[in-house]
Structure 1
């Protein structure tokens, strides 16, 4: 019964956010800060899933300037965990098919996000080049999930190079954003489903990299994020043992 009630309430809240968010975004059509506002709205739904989410923002989080944020992409619960970390003037890059998702697709478009045609590799590469130009021209940051798909308990998957190519081309840093593991953590029939920690890490300078060694940059970022996720998981495990 609890699961059914939760599903009904969550679906209602998501549709409401999408409808109101679309109206809000159409008034401020494709304003880069729309995305962060919408992400925070969705992020506030975490208590409906029985989750306690701690958001860790460094003191200078709003002073980084133009950059590319990269996050670990685990499952559908990212919507109420790591999404809350999206900063002002930050848009995301998502697959083109998102436009067809009922209610959400129109919100994703109107709020100013960027669509990527992953089936067309030439076009996707061109999109990364255009993305690098837009970052500086429009004074915005970009949020990407470099794994390219949800990991669903398989750990941090290998990174695709698009985000790193764009960062090098734009001359901006990479800012990793990590979320502790949530695989198999949520049981909708259980009142409390434990704690999740989301954290923005220190910017990674890309000035020493070029398109020739962009894979080295991707590997470096992967190692940093993988290590920090493991540390956050260990921290939560220790807290659970002491409680």
Structure 2
């Protein structure tokens, strides 16, 4: 247990340092999407602190579909360390507006050009989605979204919300699903080697010619695709042990 909590403490310190340095860079280059890429190299150290091995597959396709929309399943706060392994240049995420007020990290997150959304204000949220479409089409920026809208904490891949898919259709860009194997049950932070995580990129899903009437089906198709792939990754990890 000592090793586990020491790791969490060190990860917290790492994010604080990233927040300080990232905020300084953000003040020099405010809202530049390239800031995220720079700091991802530091955030990546978190996976080594936590002691797990990361296997990535087909993630080069993310660069082929830049700028575009990436979606992934969302499990824990440590997802940020996993994303840093595969983050393409000029890629930002969509996060809750309240993140801006987290000391150090929140200011870095905001100044790095990540898109903040007020989920309690539907009118504001729809306006933000329009801004996301503009960022993809006109500012050479990819957007990473987690359409579950909340951390699953071992409950499997939760149902997807429709916002990401409205955005993709509005911008007429491909959607690239990113599947991350389950963390709960597969990682043990009390051990020196805590386990293995597999990140698998799936072939892009085209939105060409789709309209708002297709959102529900597109959402369901992408959810099924990610859920089934995560199950396969979990089975593979189980066979390793």
Q: Calculate the TM-score normalised by the size of structure 1.
A: 0.92
Structure 1: which 4+ aligned runs deviate by more than 6 Å? none
Query: How much is the aligned-residue C-alpha RMSD, in angstroms?
Result: 1.7
**How far, CA to CA, are the matches of 1:37 and 1:77 in structure 2?**
18
Residue-pair matches, total: 240
SS state of the match for residue 76, structure 1?
Answer: coil
Change in CA separation of 1:8 and 1:134 when aligned onto 2, cut-off 3 Å? closer
Q: CA deviation at 1:59?
A: 4.1
SS at structure 1 position matched to 2:78: helix
Following superposition, the deviation at residue 57 of structure 1 comes to: 3.8
1:113 aligns with 2:114: yes
1:89 is matched with 90
What is aligned with 2:237? 236
SS in 1 for 2:70: strand
In the TM superposition, residue 212 of structure 1 has moved relative to its aligned partner by 1.3
User: Is contact 1:92-1:142 (8 Å) kept?
Assistant: yes
Unmatched tracts of structure 2, length 5 or more: none
Distance 1:234 1:167 in 2: 31
Contact 2:7 2:49 in 1 (8 A): yes
In 2, Cα distance between the equivalents of 1:33 and 1:55? 22
Answering whether residue 126 of structure 2 is matched by residue 125 of structure 1, we say yes
Instruction: Tell me how far 1:136 sits from its aligned partner.
Output: 1.1
In structure 1, the partner of 2:105 is: 104
Aligned partners of 1:59, 1:157: CA distance in 2, in Å? 26
- TM-score normalised by L of structure 2: 0.93
Task: Say which is worse superposed, 179-188 or 138-147, in terms of deviation.
Answer: 179-188
Once residues 58 and 156 of structure 2 are traced to their aligned partners in structure 1, the CA distance between those partners, rounded to angstroms, is: 23
